[in-house]
C-alpha cells in the first residue's frame, strides 16, 4: 500500500470498511461515531486496538490498554518490523495471544475489527497518523507532542470536529487527580492571584554522538519511517529515540519532556489561547566538554539549554529546559522547596509545585503523582495525591492508566467531550513548544554575551524576574564547565503573534515555519481539506 496516493488510500479504506451510507456520512461530516461491525459498542465487548509505534511509549500503551480490560491489542505497526514483532512475541508470552504486525500502519486502517488507533511513533508522524485514522473512522489516542508544527494542530482540530470521534492527547496528567485537584485549588484562589507559571524540564540528556553518515538498521522501511519529512541520510549514531534531538523529526526536549509540564502549567494559569509574544534564548551547548573534543560536532540540532518567555497580556509563562547536570529550581523563599521536572504556579499568597520535591525518593515517575501548595514563607499548606476512582492513593509509573480509562469511558459513552485532553488541548500545548522553538531557530546564529543578553532581556515584558532566571541559567552552564566567551548563547527573535489568527505579525520568515514542506503522499492537509 505504500505506493498508493493518500486520496486513493482514504477512498479505498472507506469503501472497504463502511457501507455506502456510512461513507456518505463521513464525506458530509455528519457521521459522528464509528464502531466495529455494529452501531454501538456494548460495555462487555472488547474494543480492537492497533498500536502505531513499538518503542518505549508504545509498550506503555499496550500495557495500559490490557490492564483496562475493555480493549484488546489486535495489531502492532512500526516501520522497524523487528520492534513490532518483539512486542507481539512479548504480548503472546504475557497475555496469551500474538497481535499481527505490519511495518506500514495503513494496512490496518480499513479493518473493521479496529476501533482504536494509538500512536506512539516519531513526532513528525503524529498528526498524519491521527488524520488518516479519523478519516478511516477510528477513535484516536495520540502521544505528545500532538503535532510537529502549528499547521498540523489546526488540521487535527478540524478533523476531530468533522468526524466526531473520541480523541485523546497523551498528556496524561490531565487525568491525574493530583493535578486536577490542584488546578481547582488554584482557580478557587488557594494561592491568590496567579500571574506567572514556570514549566521545568531539567532532565539530564547525554550527548548523542558525533554527526556522521550511519547505515539504516536492518528491518526498517526508511522511506515510510521518513514519511512527511524528506528522506535524508541518517546522521545520528542511535537510530531510535535520538531523533528527538533532530528538528526534522523531533522538537527537542521542550516538545518531549517539556510538553507535559507545559500542559499542566497552562491549566494552572488557565490559558486556552496563543500568547501575544514569545522570545527564546539558549543553545545546544556543553556536549563538546562531555565528549572531550573541542572539534566535536553534535548530531543533534535542537537546544539542550532553553528559556522561552511568553506574554499573555495579564499573565506570563516561562519554560526552562536543561540537558546538562543541574540543581533544582526553587520557589523564591530559600533553597528549601524546588523541583527538577514539574510546573510551578506563583500566586500572590503562595506557590503550587507539581513535581518531585527534594526530600522525596529518587523515583522519577513519582514526580507525576504528587502536587504541593506552599504559603509565601515556604510552609506546606496542602498536598495533592494521585488517586484512583475509589479514592485510593496510587503510585504508578505515570498516570497513563487513568488517561486510557478516561478515553475508553468516552468511547463507551459515545461522548467525545468526556476526554480530558482533546485535540484542541493537545494542539495548544504543542504550540507553546513550537512557538518557543521558532524564536530560537530564527535567532540561532545571533550569538550574544551574558551581559548583552541581560541588557536585551530588560525590555522583555514578563511577570518573571528575567534577570534572575538568566543568572541561574548562566550559573548552571558555568557549573558544567561551559566557557560562555567561546560558546555564547543565542538570542532568538522577539515574535509578536496575532492571537485570533494564530500567526506571526509582520514576520514572513517566522510564518513559513508554522508548517513544513511535506513529501507526497505524506501531506498533512489544510484544515478545510481534512
What pLDDT shows up at residue 237?
A: 96
- Whether 434 shows a pLDDT value over 80: the answer reads yes
List beta partners, residue 76: 51, 101
Does the pLDDT at position 15 exceed 70?
A: no
What residue spans of 96-149 are helical by DSSP H?
123-135
HSE-up of residue 407 (Cα within 13 Å, Cβ side): 34
Q: Determine the distance from the C-alpha atom of residue 313 to the mean position of all C-alpha atoms in its chain, rounded to a whole number.
A: 25
Collapsing DSSP states into helix, strand and coil, what is residue 474?
helix
What is the structure's pLDDT at 386? 84
**pLDDT band (50, 70, 90) for residue 27:** very low
Using DSSP, how many helices (H) and how many strands (E) does the chain show? 15, 20
Structure-model confidence comparison of residues 26 and 148, the more confident one: 148
How many alpha carbons fall within 13 Å on the CB side of residue 426? 33
Q: Which cell goes with 437?
A: 522553538
14 pLDDT higher than 80 = no
Structural element, H or E, at residue 53:
none
Count the Cβ atoms, other than its own, within 10 Å of residue 508: 7
What is the rounded average pLDDT of the residues 27-52? Answer: 53
Give the mean model confidence (pLDDT) for residues 202-222.
96
List of residues 6+ apart from 418 with CB closer than 8 A: 166, 406, 409, 410
Over residues 41-85, the pLDDT tens digits come to: 444 489 999 999 999 999 999 999 999 999 999 999 999 999 999
- Tell me which of 29-38, 214-223, 231-240 is least confident: 29-38
User: pLDDT value at position 336?
Assistant: 83
Of 105-109, 333-337, 348-352, 510-514, the one with minimum mean pLDDT is 333-337
Rounded to whole angstroms, the Cα distance separating 175 from 388 reads 10
Determine the average pLDDT of the residues in 438-443.
Answer: 98
Given a contact cutoff of 8 angstroms between Cβ atoms, the answer to whether 262 and 433 are in contact is: yes
Contact predicate 54/86, CB 8 Å: yes
- Region of residue 189 (phi > 0: left; psi between -120 and 50: alpha; otherwise: beta): left
Note the pLDDT of residue 367: 57
Band of pLDDT at residue 8, cut at 50, 70 and 90: very low
What is the grid cell recorded at 203?
532532565
The residue among 275, 358, 285 whose CA lies nearest residue 319 is 275
Q: What does the pLDDT look like over 241-291, one tens digit per residue?
A: 999 999 999 999 999 999 999 999 999 999 999 999 999 999 999 999 988
Three cell numbers, residue 264: 499542566
Judge contact between 423 and 156, C-beta under 8 A. yes
Per-residue pLDDT of 258-267, as tens digits, reads 999 999 999 9
pLDDT: which is higher, 362 or 313? 313
pLDDT (tens digit, 9 = 90+) per residue, 296-340?
Answer: 899 999 999 999 999 999 999 999 999 999 999 999 887 788 999
Instruction: Report pLDDT for 358.
Output: 63
Q: What is the pLDDT of residues 398-433, one digit of tens each?
A: 568 899 999 999 999 999 999 999 999 999 999 999
Q: Which residues, 6 or more positions from 294, have their beta carbon under 8 angstroms from its beta carbon?
A: 288
Higher pLDDT residue, 489 or 364? 489
Pairwise pLDDT comparison (122 vs 369), residue with the higher score: 122
CA distances, 98 to each of 29, 91, 93 (Å): 36, 6, 8
Looking at the domain that runs over 6-174+403-423, which CATH code has it been given? Answer: 3.40.50.720
- In a 13 Å sphere around the CA of 351, the CA atoms on its Cβ side amount to 24
pLDDT band at 368 (very low <50, low <70, confident <90, very high): low
The pLDDT of residue 308 is 98
Residue 181 CA to residue 183 CA, distance in Å, equals 5
pLDDT tens, position by position, 164-174: 999 999 999 99
Q: What are the angstrom distances between the C-alpha of 223 and each of 5, 229, 435?
A: 15, 9, 29
Q: Which is higher by pLDDT, 130 or 19?
A: 130
CATH of domain 178-203+241-392+425-511: 3.30.360.10
Question: HSE (CB half, 13 Å, CA atoms) of 445?
Answer: 1
Average pLDDT, the chain: 89
List Cα–Cα distances, 425 to 47, 171, 263, 267, 431, in angstroms: 25, 9, 8, 10, 10
Cα–Cα distance between 80 and 160 in angstroms, integer? 28
Taking the C-alpha atoms of residue 207 and residue 202, their distance in angstroms, rounded to an integer, is 15
What's the pLDDT score for residue 359? 55
Please tell me the distance from the alpha carbon of residue 403 to that of residue 68, in angstroms, as a whole number. 11
Buried b (16+ CB within 10 A) or exposed e, 175-186: bbbbbbbbbebb
526 pLDDT higher than 90: yes
Long-range contacts of 17-26 (CB under 8 A, 24+ apart): 17/109, 17/110, 17/111, 17/112, 17/136, 17/137, 18/137, 22/137, 26/135, 26/137, 26/163
pLDDT at 26 over 50: no
pTM confidence score: 0.90
So what's the pLDDT on residue 10? 35
**Domain ranges within the chain, ordered by starting residue:** 6-174+403-423, 178-203+241-392+425-511
Burial class (CB in 10 A: 0-12, 13-18, 19+), 396: middle
- Cβ-based neighbour number of residue 54 at 10 Å: 26
Work out the percent of the chain whose per-residue pLDDT is above 70: 88
- Report the relative pairing of strands 370-375 and 350-355 from DSSP bridges: antiparallel
Amino acid at each position: 500500500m505504500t505506493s498508493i496516493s493518500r486520496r486513493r488510500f482514504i477512498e479505498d479504506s472507506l469503501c472497504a470498511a463502511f457501507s455506502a451510507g456510512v461513507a456518505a456520512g463521513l464525506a458530509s461530516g455528519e457521521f459522528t461515531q464509528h464502531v466495529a461491525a455494529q452501531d454501538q459498542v456494548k460495555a462487555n465487548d472488547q474494543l480492537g486496538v492497533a498500536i502505531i509505534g513499538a518503542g518505549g511509549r508504545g509498550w506503555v500503551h499496550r500495557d495500559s490498554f490490557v490492564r483496562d480490560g475493555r480493549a484488546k491489542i489486535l495489531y502492532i505497526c512500526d516501520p522497524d518490523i523487528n520492534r513490532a514483532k518483539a512486542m507481539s512475541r512479548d504480548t503472546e508470552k504475557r497475555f496469551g495471544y500474538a497481535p499481527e504486525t505490519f511495518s506500514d500502519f495503513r494496512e490496518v486502517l480499513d479493518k473493521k475489527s479496529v476501533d482504536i488507533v494509538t500512536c506512539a511513533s516519531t513526532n513528525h508522524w503524529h498528526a498524519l497518523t491521527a488524520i488518516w485514522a479519523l478519516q478511516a473512522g477510528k477513535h484516536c489516542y495520540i502521544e505528545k507532542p500532538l503535532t510537529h508544527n502549528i499547521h498540523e494542530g489546526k488540521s487535527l482540530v478540524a478533523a476531530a470536529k468533522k468526524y466526531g470521534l473520541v480523541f485523546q492527547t497523551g498528556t496524561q496528567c490531565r487525568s491525574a487527580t493530583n493535578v486536577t485537584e490542584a488546578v481547582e485549588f488554584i482557580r478557587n484562589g488557594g494561592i491568590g492571584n496567579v500571574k506567572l507559571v514556570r514549566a521545568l524540564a531539567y532532565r539530564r540528556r547525554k550527548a548523542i554522538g558525533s554527526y556522521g553518515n550511519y547505515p539504516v538498521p536492518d528491518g526498517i522501511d526508511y522511506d515510510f519511517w521518513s514519511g512527511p519529512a524528506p528522506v535524508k541520510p541518517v546522521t545520528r549514531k542511535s537510530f531510535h529515540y535520538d531523533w528527538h534531538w533532530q528538528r526534522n523529526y523531533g522538537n527537542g526536549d521542550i516538545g518531549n519532556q517539556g510538553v507535559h509540564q507545559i500542559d499542566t502549567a497552562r491549566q494552572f494559569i488557565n490559558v486556552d489561547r496563543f500568547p501575544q509574544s514569545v522570545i527564546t534564548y539558549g543553545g545546544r551547548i556543553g556536549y563538546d566538554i562531555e565528549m572531550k573534543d573541542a572539534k566535536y560536532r553534535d548530531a543533534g540540532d535542537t537546544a539542550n539549554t532553553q528559556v522561552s518567555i511568553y506574554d499573555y497580556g495579564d499573565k506570563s509563562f516561562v519554560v526552562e529546559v536543561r540537558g546538562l547536570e543541574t540543581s533544582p529550581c526553587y520557589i523564591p523563599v530559600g533553597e528549601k522547596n524546588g523541583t527538577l521536572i514539574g510546573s510551578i504556579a506563583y500566586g500572590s499568597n503562595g506557590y503550587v509545585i507539581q513535581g518531585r520535591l527534594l526530600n522525596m525518593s529518587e523515583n522519577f515517575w513519582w514526580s507525576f503523582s504528587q502536587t504541593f501548595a506552599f504559603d509565601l514563607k515556604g510552609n506546606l499548606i496542602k498536598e495533592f495525591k494521585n488517586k484512583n476512582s475509589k479514592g485510593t492513593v496510587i503510585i504508578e509509573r505515570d498516570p497513563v492508566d487513568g488517561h486510557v480509562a478516561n478515553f475508553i469511558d468516552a468511547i463507551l459513552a459515545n461522548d467525545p467531550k468526556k476526554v480530558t485532553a482533546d485535540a484542541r488541548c493537545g494542539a495548544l500545548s504543542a504550540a507553546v513548544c513550537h512557538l518557543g522553538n521558532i524564536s530560537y531557530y530564527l535567532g540561532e546564529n545571533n550569538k550574544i554575551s551574558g551581559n548583552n543578553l541581560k541588557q536585551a532581556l530588560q525590555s522583555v515584558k514578563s511577570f518573571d524576574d528575567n534577570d534572575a532566571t538568566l543568572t541561574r541559567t548562566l550559573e548552571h552552564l558555568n557549573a558544567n564547565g561551559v566557557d560562555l566567551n567561546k560558546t555564547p548563547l543565542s538570542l532568538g527573535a522577539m515574535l509578536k503573534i496575532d492571537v485570533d489568527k494564530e500567526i506571526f505579525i509582520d514576520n514572513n520568515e517566522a510564518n513559513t515555519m508554522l508548517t513544513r514542506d511535506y513529501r507526497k503522499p505524506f501531506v498533512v492537509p489544510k484544515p478545510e481539506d481534512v
